[in-house]
Structure 1
Amino acid sequence: MRILMVSMADRGGGAERIALRLTVGLQNAGHEAVLAVGFKHLAYPWVHPLSRDRNQPARNRDAPPPAGPDDRKWSLRAGVEDFFYPGSWDLLEAMDGWPDLVHLHNLHTGYFDLRVLPWLSAQVPVVMTLHDCWLLSGHCAHPLGCERWRGGCGACPDLSIYPPLLRDNTANNWARKREILASSRFSLIGPCDWLRKRAEDSLPKSSLHVTATVPNGINTSVFRPADQAAARARLGLPKDAAIALYVANGGLANPWRDPESLCQAIMAAAITLAPRRLILLVVGGTAEGGGFTPPQDIEIWQCAFTDDASQLLDAYHAADLLVHPAWADSFPTVVLEAMACGLPVVATAVDGIPEQVIAGETGLLVPPGEGLKLAQAILTVLQNDAMRSRMSVAGRRRALEHFDERVMIDRYLALYADILASSGGSA
């Protein structure tokens, strides 16, 4: 098969890493796969940057003309979602010859013209994997408890949610997306049942060819248990401390995380554990930012995100547990990586996380925004060596059985074959 993958970037958060690893996995399985991205960072020759030049007309004759600077400025001020990227209309040129299938991932954040979807889906079969709720809403990637997306948005309670708007045009944005999607035909994949069912309830039924759940996968040969003492020595961490690991793009400033509850939990747990030290190891950004400053009496060590997988692995191996306090998170890759490394996971029971973590077996789940309950869950794991050991083994086993990237790739290949067969194409 010839598969054209589309993603915002070739490195970044979980969605970007999944698109990249899926491309590599398809290549290793003997298929021709390339990745088209809005932002290229890596030197792989099969990663193709899409033009983000707003002034350069597309070569595709069906594309609308580029919008002028005044039109773009007006749209920005009016709260219209930004689709002014003519390069999207030349997407199929990323491959030598026509692809059998185009697989789209996250389409927001400054690189893609959603208006191309009706034309694109008339040319080749299109598969779309949702990684968040942006396609269902008038602007936000996660509605954070708001239900207005179900009926058309408008009167948005929080325009600052990523991707933010300057003015409330969410009702018109929602209607425009529905019009585009209603004129398209594509197969929709969710990494979890929670997100797939939301999409099925919201999107035009006539647009959906195939719908399915395919859990994201990781390389369990890379993410695997290893010696804790050696990892702590490499990172300079004390060998006798209790270490809770927190991983997020942007660190504690990540908009989908709950740093207040996290810090409340770490402070409360540290008091109970004293005199043993409790360290919060923050990976992915600084411990400050986004208007949040952690209390000074929490012991925090931090690492930035890095392309060096060994440093991230050392963080997983050095920790006693992963703590993942989220307000929203569709299917966090970090939870899968932690379980594959044998780390118990303490997380909030939101979105797709309960489909990853089996409460009482591979970790513990608490309600969102409950710092003291989060503290109790952290203490339960840290103070019970036998439980922690059982969860470590169970988490690794669950990752191997359900979240190995080879399982993900096999599921996608089977889906591709079914989609092509029912579309009149050939595998």
Structure 2
Amino acid sequence: MTQSSILQVGSTDEEGARFNGQDLHKQLKARGYQSHHLVWLKTGNDPDTTQIQTEKSARLQQKIRRIEYNSNLQSLLYPFVLDFPMRRQFQQADLVHYHLIHTGYFSLGALPMLTRMKPSVWTLHDPWAMTGHCVHPFACERWKIGCGACPDLNILFPLQKDNTAFLWKVKKHLYQASRIDIVLASKWMMKMAEESPLMSNFRLHHIPFGIDTTIFCPGDTEACKEKLGIPKGNVVVGLRANANDFKGLDYIQKAFDHLDIDIPITILAYNQKGHFDKFLGRYQIIEVGWLKETSIFVETLRACDLFLMPSTAESFGMMAIESMACGKPSIVFEGTALPEVTFAPNGALAVAPRVDELVSAMKHLLVDARARQALGAEARNIAVQNYDFSLHVDRMERLYEKALNDSGKVKSAAQKPV
């Protein structure tokens, strides 16, 4: 039976491997596919992952980044994918799957050419592809009518002047000339895509991300706490400390300010450091930064008793399902994809985006150990049933098969090789 060749395209390989195409690429290889991953920056050692960036292109990228910013353009001038048709990996591919192409190396202007040459899939990790400039529009709904008169040009990715209507029109023009199957990881994103005029030319597919639930799994919480130097009896609150517009850091800080319970608490903070210095002496603060080693990351999750993820904008929420798989209950905000993704109230507590609501939910889980454990156990079951990585690969295989069949470029067996 003839094997299909799948090419993943993305910004990097190891950082974010669970959702950027790298783990998917490796699993496809394990299932017998010919698979390759083209990335702008390679940090791992996978022999079938190839870096696009060179010293010369890295210098050019910085110049183009400045030109685009000064010209109020986004992902239109980068030439680095125009040579894809000459690359062996692209030529040999039966299908190309694009991930995170809006990070400063890919020109949307190449989409019509590339997607007409090969059956193409594009996973949208955030709503940027549907807006005039931002990765999250929050309450603004101008993305439904062509943008322009933007209420906030400072949201990632920022513009100096309002060029959002033009950028929206450019996307519409390029999308109409492209042939792409769009993947959205949450029903929340699916609904937004269905309402977007920019997505009307594409077929939309809801396929959640996945994780290896044999790695992300419950362990000895007390042993993991001891390894981190956490005193016996402390309740550990895990959280993501990221001072951007989306992750709810300000709500978390204010919640700890207002927390008034007599329980020893450890704050276990991921990503950025220094955001909880004001609480030194009141709570134990452990800042682990960005953990590249999955095994160490899993150990820290196992040390948590609950996880805070009060994002004010979230398209999916990988850390939520990672903590769920480790048997940890989460607290999330309503109005994002997180209540749906965590199956709240069964797999998490979802509350209104207010400090008092967050404090109330935290108190409940901090005080009631049985409630924490019951919610965590159910969260684990939900993660295994819905987010195991094998399910994600199964769903992608079916999409690849359909895209190949519909394109007329299917081999004698586009489905899973045997």
Global fold match (TM > 0.5) = yes
Matched with 1:286 is 273
Matched with 1:233 is 226
Whether contact under 8 Å (2:311, 2:336) holds in the other structure is no
Can you give the 5+ residue segments of structure 1 that lack an aligned partner in the other structure? 57-65
Whether contact under 8 Å (1:76, 1:82) holds in the other structure is no
Matched with 1:417 is 401
SS in structure 1 at match of 2:21: helix
Matched with 2:50 is 48
Match of 1:26 among 21, 28, 31: 28
Match of 1:199 among 193, 196, 213: 193
Matched with 2:305 is 320
Matched with 2:12 is 9
Matched with 1:60 is none
Matched with 1:218 is 211
Can you give the 5+ residue segments of structure 2 that lack an aligned partner in the other structure? none
Change (3 A) 1:164 1:355: same
CA deviations over 1:65-123 (Å, ceiling 9, x no partner): x9996x87654323111422212112351517421111111111211111100001110
TM-score (ref. length: structure 1) = 0.89
CA deviations over 1:35-85 (Å, ceiling 9, x no partner): 1112221122222122477879xxxxxxxxx9996x876543231114222
Matched with 1:62 is none
Match of 2:108 among 111, 114, 118: 114
SS in structure 2 at match of 1:303: strand
Give 1:264 deviation, angstroms: 1.9
Q: Distance in 2 between matches of 1:211 and 1:219?
A: 25
Change (3 A) 1:74 1:9: closer
Q: Distance in 2 between matches of 1:317 and 1:91?
A: 43
Q: Distance in 2 between matches of 1:203 and 1:102?
A: 24
Higher relative contact order (CA 8 A, sep 6+): 2
Q: Larger deviation: 167-176 or 332-341?
A: 167-176
Matched with 2:40 is 38
Match of 2:377 among 360, 382, 393: 393
How many residue pairs get aligned? The number is 405
Matched, 1:102 2:73: no
Within 5 Å, give how 1:254-265 maps onto structure 2.
254-265=244-255
SS in structure 2 at match of 1:306: coil
Matched with 1:384 is 368
Q: Distance in 1 between matches of 2:399 and 2:145?
A: 31
Q: Larger deviation: 315-324 or 41-50?
A: 41-50
AA at the equivalent of 2:208: P
Matched with 1:156 is 150
Matched with 1:402 is 386
AA at the equivalent of 1:217: G
Q: Distance in 1 between matches of 2:27 and 2:74?
A: 33
Change (3 A) 1:146 1:233: same
Whether contact under 8 Å (2:19, 2:209) holds in the other structure is no
| Pairwise CA RMSD | 2.4
- Identity %, equivalent residues: 30
Q: Larger deviation: 417-426 or 79-88?
A: 79-88
Matched with 2:134 is 140
Whether contact under 8 Å (1:102, 1:124) holds in the other structure is yes
AA at the equivalent of 1:172: F
Match of 1:354 among 336, 339, 363: 339
Whether contact under 8 Å (1:153, 1:170) holds in the other structure is yes
Q: Distance in 1 between matches of 2:65 and 2:225?
A: 51
Q: Larger deviation: 276-285 or 395-404?
A: 276-285
TM-score (ref. length: structure 2) = 0.91
Q: Larger deviation: 345-354 or 199-208?
A: 199-208
